[in-house]
Amino acid sequence: MARSAIMNVMVQAAMKAGRSLARDYGEVQNLQVSLKGPADYVSQADRRAEDIVRTELLKARPDYCFLMEESGEINGSDTQHRFIVDPLDGTTNFLHGIPFFGVSIALERQGQIVAGVIYNPAMDELFTAERGGGVFLNDRRMRVANRRKLEDCVIGTGIPHLGRGHHGEYLVELRNVMAEVAGIRRMGAAAVDLAYVAAGRLDGFWEDNLQPWDMAAGLLMVREAGGFVSDKDGGQNIFGKKNIVAGNELIHKALMKTIKKPI
């Protein structure tokens, strides 16, 4: 597949950071048995990966702005372009030696996401998308699943944990969805979950309390794979409301309706 120049830069940055994470991941698995534990090491791995991504992107586009999980907003002279970066999506998985995590990089141009890369180094899976150009997994074109009924679907979600989210509200949504679907999966890395929707591995996905870097690359991928993405109210204020619902046209609509059922 042909990639644009900026996509090549983003892929290179994601894969270089991914190689760093893969080395650190091996160390984390060894540290699991230590008394101190691997938490401090993982936070360092996260920062190392972010530094790598930023350095690689700045080489090619030194004027662009950044929104990064660790460093926050970084202003550049070109205010029309912004990289949105999560250097380690799925930190808790990484911490526990679970190989479901990734580097996520999106490019926003004049408020629209136009390119995205998600790389899981543990599985060597590279998801890429450019606006109008489709989405690819290791250079093979992907489409959302074409299932038409929730009863046939496996749906991904994110479960709020200690100190995060409205647990009671989520449990109502979970109960509603549980009653309608073939299965629910909580993988632990929203960016990769959305890439899985784009690849047809998950039929749909919903989650609250997400940040732009959790969703930016993945939401483009779902759209480029023929899917639908919105906030839980059906609008496009996804970053503002910090929630997302994704799936093919029919499943997106059915999932929206199901999570909004009254108690």
Q: Is the pLDDT of residue 103 over 80?
A: yes
Rounded-to-integer distance, Cα 215 and Cα 212, Å: 5
Side-chain-facing half-sphere of 15: CA atoms under 13 Å: 12
Q: Is the pLDDT of residue 41 over 70?
A: no
SS (H, E, C) the chain: CCCCHHHHHHHHHHHHHHHHHHHHHHHHHHHCCCCCCCHHHHHHHHHHHHHHHHHHHHHHCCCEEEEECCCEEECCCEEEEEEEEEEEECHHHHHCCCCCCEEEEEEEECCEEEEEEEEECCCCEEEEEECCCEEEECCEECCCCCCCCHHHCEEEECCCCCCCCCHHHHHHHHHHHHCCCCEEECCCCHHHHHHHHHCCCCCEEEECCCCHHHHHHHHHHHHHCCCEEECCCCCCCHHHHCCEEEECHHHHHHHHHHHCCCC
Least confident of 16-30, 106-120, 200-214, 245-259: 16-30
40 versus 248: the higher-pLDDT residue is: 248
Least confident of 25-34, 70-79, 249-258: 25-34
pLDDT of 162 reads 82
Flag whether 88 is marked binding. Answer: yes
pLDDT of 39 reads 62
Mean pLDDT in residue range 139-143:
96
Mean pLDDT in residue range 136-162:
96
Flag whether 86 is marked binding. Answer: yes
Q: Is the pLDDT of residue 109 over 50?
A: yes
* Domains observed in the chain: 5-141 (3.30.540.10), 150-260 (3.40.190.80)
pLDDT of 37 reads 55
Flag whether 193 is marked binding. Answer: no
**Pairing of β 125-130 and β 102-109:** unpaired
Least confident of 9-13, 34-38, 66-70: 34-38
Q: How confident is the model at residue 262 (pLDDT cuts 50, 70, 90)?
A: confident
Give the pTM: 0.94
Mean pLDDT in residue range 106-115:
98
pLDDT of 28 reads 74
Rounded-to-integer distance, Cα 57 and Cα 234, Å: 33
Q: Is the pLDDT of residue 165 over 80?
A: no
